[in-house]
Structure 1
Amino acid sequence: MNALARRAAGLLLSTVCLPLAALAADSQPTHEFTLDNGLKVVVREDHRAPVVVSQVWYKVGSSYEPPGQTGLSHALEHMMFKGSEKVGPGEASLILRDLGAEENAFTSDDYTAYYQVLARDRLGVAFELEADRMASLRLPPDEFSREIEVIKEERRLRTDDKPMSKAFERFKAMAYPASGYHTPTIGWMADLERMKVEELRHWYESWYVPNNATLVVVGDVTPDEVKTLAQRYFGSIPKRDVPAAKQPLELAEPGERQITLRVKTQLPSVMLAFNVPSIATAGDKHSVHALRLIAALLDGGYSARIPTRLERGEELVSGGSSSFDAYTRGDSLFLLSAIPNSQKKKTVAQAEAGLWRLLDELKATPPTAEELERVRAQVIAGLVYERDSISSQATAIGQLETVGLSWKLMDTELAELQSVTPEDIQKAARTYFTRERLSVAHVLPEESAHE
């Protein structure tokens, strides 16, 4: 890299780091308190517009579900809109719509969350509706009978009838041999077909309690007004004991596993997954931040190594990716995928070998300081711009709190990422990219009858 290019890279990094440094310095004051019933409340002030986002996060998701009862968390999310003591089925959504509010919910392996985005002076309405269904969900059997059919159709549309989604679901089930992360969030179809509303009632009563929830509010509010409203609407809901919830820990070295999947696709592909820790489970958290940067180094835009080497250089693949979720409740996966370049008659085995060459190169030779600074700048810029909105700030806070971490990590991860060295990258590659941690899927087109 010449002097001009080095200076440009340095300028890019400095301009990217300044906003996040301001964020890390807590330019938006954040406060936390806990009600007597155990409900934790985190308030982050952002006074740029008279708008607020309110989110309630429950510490329960598909990784909590026992075999035979998969899909309970997601099904309960659907039923939370079907009536409680104060409102009938769908009425809460109509009230919020009339106020011009946006609302929705989502379920994952680790959590279930409900949110509203609305004018600051309507926050009490969101709290009242959310507290009502936390305390007194109805779960009408006729509504459940209809809704479970909607969920089964959702599974067909999103997974069963989408070849690559179906392949990834099977792959993930193999890649997590020991933990509940092998369970699809929507549940297996056989479990949806035999689910009973009584099971949902038990799930709701077990997990939907204030001492298993976090209320996150971000926007044009003060902590005092949020505390007053939270106490008014949530304070009287009694706390209850919740079941023990252990971290979903994985076998560190399960051994190499391989699956061949034939689906209705025209293009073959290969997927690799390595069992790795997350921030929540790692003894060496530094290595997890190194993995975050490796994911971007391999697949962080036009100049990353997969597009530069394997796509444009060797013309070995027509597309490739790498990804890693550091913020899970249990152990995580480092994922890689590639589609062989069919125009050049490349095979799945060749594409897999190409991905391994990139990993082995990282083990043998650390990246240059210049390449690492460029990648680090990209990752930091992504964090800054992603967290510009009040909704994404709230989601980051809620996710951290719900997976057993602290929202304060939002404001310290800049320093963590800045401290990763080229040698840390090499060490992480050597530690985690081993055959003993590896799952491989070859996804191939279905064979025709004459074949």
Structure 2
Amino acid sequence: MKNSLMALGTMLMLGGVASAQKVAFEEFTLDNGLHVILHNDASAPVIITSVMYHVGAKDENPERTGFAHFFEHLLFEGTANIKRGEWFKIVTANGGTNNANTTEDRTYYYEVFPSNNLELGLWMESERMMHPVINKIGVDTQNEVVKEEKRLRVDNQPYGSLIAEVKKNMFVNHPYRWAPIGSMEHLDAATLEEFQAFNKKFYTPNNSVLVVAGQIDIAQTKEWIQKYFGAIPKGEVLKKETFTEEPITQTINATYQDPNIQLPMLVASYRTPSMKTRDARVLDLVSSYLSDGKSSKLYKKIVDQKKMALQIGAFNYSQEDYGMYILYGLPMGTVTSADLLKEIDEEIVNIQTDLISEKDYQKLQNTFDNQFVNANAGVEGIAENLAKYYMLFGDVNLINSEIELYHSITREEIRDVAKKYLNPNQRLILDYVPSKDQAQN
């Protein structure tokens, strides 16, 4: 009886998630190739105007890394009709906020305004796309901004080079081998003409998606979109180059010395498939089971029970072409990285050999239901998800249906996919240690 009630409760909960989180949207494409997605949400008098460009670190010249992240900053410098230094003033003066972010695969810009400033938000994003001013003073200014960001977030941050070092060792051919922050030497060496050419190539209507979400009048919004974006010339048709990595068949061993740390870190990283694949979603569940929070298998065993580590964890680094599943741990006392790795491998073998319990399986489903609800809880999250699912997955409706894919994953798949990807001969073992000078202090 108890199990029946639990099952009934689960069914009702999942049904509630599916219906309550349904995101309605409308999409169309302008003649210049700009794809547009509209989502009307009358729950609050705010709007989001956002543009996602299909350009990230993987689209850079290997001798000019850091360009995509650089443009995240540079395209706030000003336009033909927005004077240098005025962008943020205009936004704040009209009750808004704005930001941008860059990954290996895309760059995303957005403004949040009171709903009566929708036209302003659309005009500003059209200005960024059509009339950016890319000159020497802007490039020089943002060069210093990016260098300071790198100093704060990477060079002087404990364990700040972890992702860059993992990427460098796990990818040989693919541009994923460098981090989005890129090389300051490459940025210093670049000419103004190279920056202008990068903008002309990638920041075009046919290489982007415009999402407008919030309290909007659909007919009026379409009229303004045509008014401000319709005249922007179509860019060149981009042919994305395909990069293939050979399977990892032998353990990669590497060491990195970090001058900002005193405690060594064990890092084990496995290359995983594109985030668009079913296997990647199964690995999301595997990752959550092993290492998501203090109730996960690894934390309970290694930190709580055996007290072998100050911290243990992992995360999926999802990307459009390949991903990474990165495990890390901080050994405690006389415990070595090898000791931690042995404990981690035991738990991985367990999940590869036996089915996880029904209780743990249900906990995973509940966790992902909660994440799904939270991801679409606010209009800002909805706007970015609409852009992401169109741009990187090719299916906008995944904003509603992806949770069904996670629900369909079986315990057998969890076992089999863990066995397929998480093997000792398929990984990088990175000894992330204090620099020799730091170790002597």
Q: Give the structure-1-normalised TM-score.
A: 0.92
User: Does 1:442 pair with 2:431?
Assistant: yes
Pick from 154, 157, 161 the counterpart of residue 162 of structure 1: 157
Please show how residues 95-134 of structure 1 align to structure 2 within 5 Å. Answer: 95-134=90-129
Q: Is the 8 A contact 2:50 2:125 kept in 1?
A: no
Matched position secondary structure for 1:337: strand
CA spacing shift, 1:330–1:142, aligned 2, 3 Å? same
1:19-67: CA deviation from partner (whole Å, max 9, x where unpaired): 421156x3x3211100111100011222111111111011001011121
Per the alignment, residue 266 of structure 1 pairs with: 262
Paired residue type of 1:362: I
Q: Is the 8 A contact 1:316 1:354 kept in 2?
A: no
CA spacing shift, 1:212–1:168, aligned 2, 3 Å? closer
Q: Is the 8 A contact 2:368 2:403 kept in 1?
A: no
Q: Is the 8 A contact 2:275 2:323 kept in 1?
A: no
CA spacing shift, 1:144–1:173, aligned 2, 3 Å? same
Per the alignment, residue 31 of structure 1 pairs with: 26
Instruction: Between 180-189 and 49-58, report the one with greater CA deviation.
Output: 180-189
Per the alignment, residue 417 of structure 1 pairs with: 406
Paired residue type of 2:150: R
The CA deviation at 1:249 is: 4.0
Q: Is the 8 A contact 2:37 2:211 kept in 1?
A: yes
Give distance in 2, aligned partners of 1:268 and 1:9. 45
Matched position secondary structure for 1:138: coil
Pick from 226, 238, 246 the counterpart of residue 233 of structure 2: 238
Identity of aligned residues (%): 24
Per the alignment, residue 334 of structure 1 pairs with: 325
The CA deviation at 1:14 is: 4.7
Give distance in 2, aligned partners of 1:397 and 1:102. 20
The CA deviation at 1:442 is: 1.0
Per the alignment, residue 283 of structure 2 pairs with: 291
Per the alignment, residue 197 of structure 1 pairs with: 192
Instruction: Between 88-97 and 241-250, report the one with greater CA deviation.
Output: 241-250
Instruction: Between 360-369 and 314-323, report the one with greater CA deviation.
Output: 314-323
CA spacing shift, 1:53–1:105, aligned 2, 3 Å? same
Give distance in 2, aligned partners of 1:8 and 1:163. 49
Paired residue type of 1:62: A
Per the alignment, residue 307 of structure 2 pairs with: 315
Give distance in 2, aligned partners of 1:216 and 1:436. 43
User: Does 1:67 pair with 2:62?
Assistant: yes
1:318-365: CA deviation from partner (whole Å, max 9, x where unpaired): 211121144x221111111111122xx211111111111111111111
CA spacing shift, 1:23–1:278, aligned 2, 3 Å? farther
Give distance in 1, aligned partners of 2:314 and 2:394. 25
Q: Is the 8 A contact 1:50 1:119 kept in 2?
A: yes
Paired residue type of 2:417: A
Give distance in 2, aligned partners of 1:130 and 1:450. 50
Matched position secondary structure for 1:403: helix
Give distance in 1, aligned partners of 2:146 and 2:116. 35
Pick from 81, 85, 91 the counterpart of residue 76 of structure 2: 81
Give distance in 2, aligned partners of 1:55 and 1:267. 41
Paired residue type of 1:20: V
The CA deviation at 1:114 is: 0.8
Per the alignment, residue 342 of structure 2 pairs with: 353
Paired residue type of 2:280: V
The CA deviation at 1:99 is: 0.5
The CA deviation at 1:234 is: 0.1
Q: How many positions carry a matched residue from both structures?
A: 439
User: Does 1:149 pair with 2:144?
Assistant: yes
Please show how residues 343-382 of structure 1 align to structure 2 within 5 Å. Answer: 345-382=334-371
Q: Is the 8 A contact 1:322 1:335 kept in 2?
A: yes
Give distance in 2, aligned partners of 1:383 and 1:322. 20
Per the alignment, residue 40 of structure 1 pairs with: 35
Per the alignment, residue 17 of structure 1 pairs with: 14
The CA deviation at 1:366 is: 1.4
Matched position secondary structure for 1:407: coil
1:174-208: CA deviation from partner (whole Å, max 9, x where unpaired): 12222111121111122122122221100000011
The CA deviation at 1:18 is: 4.0
Output the aligned Cα RMSD. Answer: 2.0
Give distance in 2, aligned partners of 1:395 and 1:273. 28
The CA deviation at 1:314 is: 2.1
Structure 1 runs, 4 residues or longer, greater than 6 Å off: none
Give distance in 2, aligned partners of 1:450 and 1:156. 22
Matched position secondary structure for 2:387: helix
Q: Is the 8 A contact 1:252 1:276 kept in 2?
A: no
Per the alignment, residue 300 of structure 1 pairs with: 292
1:106-147: CA deviation from partner (whole Å, max 9, x where unpaired): 111111111001111211101111111211111121221122
Q: Give the structure-2-normalised TM-score.
A: 0.94
Paired residue type of 1:275: R
Matched position secondary structure for 2:310: strand
Q: Is the 8 A contact 2:248 2:425 kept in 1?
A: yes
User: Does 1:277 pair with 2:277?
Assistant: no
Paired residue type of 1:305: K
